[in-house]
A and B are shown apart, each in its own frame.
Chain A
Amino acid sequence: MMAKTSVVMTVAIGLALAASCVLGCSTSSGETVDSVAQRAETPLPARAGTVIVDGCVIDPWQRATLAGPGARRVLQEVILLCLVPRLDGTVGPRDPSTVSRLASLVADLKADGYRVHFGVAFTDETGQRYDGTQTAAFLGDPAWRTRFRDTLVTALAPADGVELDLQGLPDAARNSVTTLVTEVAQAVRPGKRLGVFVPPSVTIPSDLPGGDAFARAALSAQVYRMRIMTLDFSDLGPGPTIDPGWAVDAVRLARRDSVAVDIAYPLYGTDFGPRGRRSTTYLEAIATASSSGARIERGPTTAPFVRYSGYGNEPHELWFDDTDSTSRALAAWTHEVLPPEVGVVFYGLGAEEPALFERLGARMP
């Protein structure tokens, strides 16, 4: 009888111990592991891919990247952010040698299977962006718009389409922007495609300066795609170049007006210092970390960053993206979150981790 009682007691004690574990028998290992959806062997959600080259020239590294099988699986379009309007509205470059070289470059990229668009950056010949008020004045001048439209058509000849990159406009330029886009659409379509870069507003009215200069509903009827420029999330202080969730909200808002939208992802990084911000590349970030002996940390969104002391012992934070942070964001944008027709536009070819497109290409379905 005693033996039976002791067995019951033992079991009761065991049950009590088990119950006590409810108060805490488990711990964190301190390590991080990817979920099922984030694992390297899980295919990324399929999307149309576009890359933006900031300029008219593709250097040998960029050319090699685009020729590689990875980039050709991820990307279908290349935007050369190359054309600029002069003060009188004439779109350049116009000198014959540059035009010829551009045509040759476009033919090369087409031979690799890419569609090539020319982007119009509203900057002067030095690359300095026009003041928004000045650009608004241009757009409000019918003679300027006519010259812009007519010369743009000529400059576009070798390309498959054109993208308008208007930035820093006052909200009051809304009608002028719509008029310009409508007139350009009438001039270039249907032979060429027309796209427009749109600020990543997440509220109505826009939470961004100049965000309401873009009447998305009116523009959507004129353009092939709206590229929602979900970049430079941390514009006030150090932080990631993109927050993947914020980017989703910006695209969802834009999709109320148009189905054909792209979400943007940065290939470049940003160095935040006491003298302001400066764009950097992945290789520059790694070199900075190496030369300053700084550890590469990761922020909440998994974007890597480096804290280092710069010239004059100034404190810097350099935030950038690598293959891990990029593929995690792309995996987070499941088709439940953003439908398959939303494309991805990568900004800044040449600034990325060299193996990025090979590794993304390997995860394409």
Chain B
Amino acid sequence: MSTSRFASGARATCTAAVVLCVLLGAEPAHADVELQAAAIGGLAWTRSLPELKSASTLTAAREVRESRVAIGGSLFAVGGGVDVGLAIDDRVFLPGFGLAAYSAVGSYDTVLTSADGSIARVRPWTTYQLDFLLPGIGYRMKHRRFMFVASIRTGVSGMHMEGSIAGGEGDTLASLSGVSGLLQVELEACRRLDPVTRICAQLAPRIYDFGFMNGATLGLRVEWGR
């Protein structure tokens, strides 16, 4: 009985070790792990501007508490960023860490809203967005000079914009910001320029970013790595 239990435990341990080796690509005889780095520039589209939090603000009429401010409306932003990842066996792609910053582009209306019961105005044209990209998993395939990658990755997205809160006969400047979890799909089509450099077009629909299916990014990437 005890021998059987030992055998069963040993089998489970071996299985786990094999799975771990496959996942990490650390099996010395076959795994080929390549570090990838990329710089990206492009557009970010937010389908609906989310509720953001206004900081506590002292107006001529009152002290407005920290509160959630409804906004709405879509926004285009432009910016860029960098990120790194790992390619395993030229097939599995593990997006790693990255950072991207975007700033609003275009012409926008002032949004009339409220903060803690006071009338407030938000200025979407002052929007900045910062994405901290975290690991994910993907797959890539090559055909001659071309490469195609599909991956899904996580992250954290932050947004900041300026506004004002009405108090009696005047307005007081206020800042609004928010942080959200991020889940996005990244679809890339690349062309190799030289053995270690590629240029890629990337489309990344955002499955969750302050809300479900709330935007996408579209950009050009320069990637380094085999």
B197: A residues at CB distance < 8 A: 4, 8
Distance A15 CA – B165 CA, assembled complex (angstroms)? 36
Residue A204 lies at the interface, judged by CB distance under 8 Å to chain B: no
Residue A347 lies at the interface, judged by CB distance under 8 Å to chain B: no
Given contacts A26-B125, A239-B168, A240-B168, contact A38 B112 (CB under 8 A): yes
CB contact list, A26-46 vs B, under 8 A: 26-29, 31-39
For residue B19, give the distance in angstroms from its CB to the closest CB of chain A: 39
Q: Mark B73-101, 1 if CB is under 8 A from A, else 0.
A: 10000111000000000000000000001
- Whether the Cβ atoms of A31 and B109 lie closer than 8 Å is yes
Which residue of the partner chain, among A34, A299, A338, contacts B117 with CB atoms under 8 Å?
A: A338
Binds B, one of A71-79, A176-184, A243-251: A243-251
Distance A337 CA – B122 CA, assembled complex (angstroms)? 19
Output the nearest chain A residue to B169 by Cβ-Cβ distance: A239
29 CB contacts below 8 A, A to B, read A8-B197, A15-B40, A18-B78, A25-B106, A26-B125, A28-B107, A28-B109, A32-B111, A33-B111, A34-B113, A35-B69, A35-B71, A36-B71, A37-B114, A39-B72, A233-B61, A238-B169, A243-B62, A243-B168, A245-B62, A247-B117, A248-B62, A248-B116, A300-B119, A300-B170, A301-B119, A302-B119, A332-B119, A337-B114
Q: Mark A16-28, 1 if CB is under 8 A from B, else 0.
A: 0111011111111
- Whether the Cβ atoms of A331 and B114 lie closer than 8 Å is yes
A300: B residues at CB distance < 8 A: 119, 166-171
For residue A21, give the distance in angstroms from its CB to the closest CB of chain B: 5
- Whether the Cβ atoms of A14 and B168 lie closer than 8 Å is no
List 20 extra interface pairs beyond A35-B72, A301-B166, CB under 8 A. A14-B41, A15-B41, A18-B41, A21-B78, A25-B104, A27-B125, A29-B108, A32-B109, A32-B110, A33-B110, A34-B113, A35-B70, A35-B111, A35-B114, A243-B62, A243-B167, A244-B117, A245-B62, A245-B118, A336-B67
Distance A109 CA – B166 CA, assembled complex (angstroms)? 38
Distance A332 CA – B114 CA, assembled complex (angstroms)? 5
For residue A256, give the distance in angstroms from its CB to the closest CB of chain B: 16
- Whether the Cβ atoms of A336 and B68 lie closer than 8 Å is yes
Output the nearest chain A residue to B197 by Cβ-Cβ distance: A8
Q: Mark B150-186, 1 if CB is under 8 A from A, else 0.
A: 0000000000000001111111000000000000000
Which residue of the partner chain, among B106, B112, B199, contacts A32 with CB atoms under 8 Å?
A: B112
- Whether the Cβ atoms of B68 and A38 lie closer than 8 Å is no
CB contact list, B103-161 vs A, under 8 A: 103-114, 116-119, 121-128
**What 7 A-B pairs are tightest by C-beta distance, nearest first?**
A245-B118, A332-B114, A248-B117, A300-B166, A36-B72, A35-B113, A15-B41
Distance A246 CA – B60 CA, assembled complex (angstroms)? 10
Output the nearest chain B residue to A12 by Cβ-Cβ distance: B222
Residue A306 lies at the interface, judged by CB distance under 8 Å to chain B: no
Output the nearest chain B residue to A263 by Cβ-Cβ distance: B117
Given contacts A8-B222, A328-B119, contact A28 B114 (CB under 8 A): no
Count of chain B residues with a beta carbon within 8 Å of a chain A beta carbon: 57
B128: A residues at CB distance < 8 A: 22
- Whether the Cβ atoms of B125 and A34 lie closer than 8 Å is no
- Whether the Cβ atoms of A244 and B103 lie closer than 8 Å is no
- Whether the Cβ atoms of A21 and B105 lie closer than 8 Å is yes
A143: B residues at CB distance < 8 A: none
Which residue of the partner chain, among B40, B104, B166, contacts A245 with CB atoms under 8 Å?
A: B166
- Whether the Cβ atoms of A26 and B71 lie closer than 8 Å is no
Most buried by B among A15, A27, A28, A248: A15
Residue A7 lies at the interface, judged by CB distance under 8 Å to chain B: yes
Given contacts A11-B199, A35-B72, contact A245 B110 (CB under 8 A): no
Distance A336 CA – B68 CA, assembled complex (angstroms)? 10
Q: Mark B193-209, 1 if CB is under 8 A from A, else 0.
A: 11001010000000000
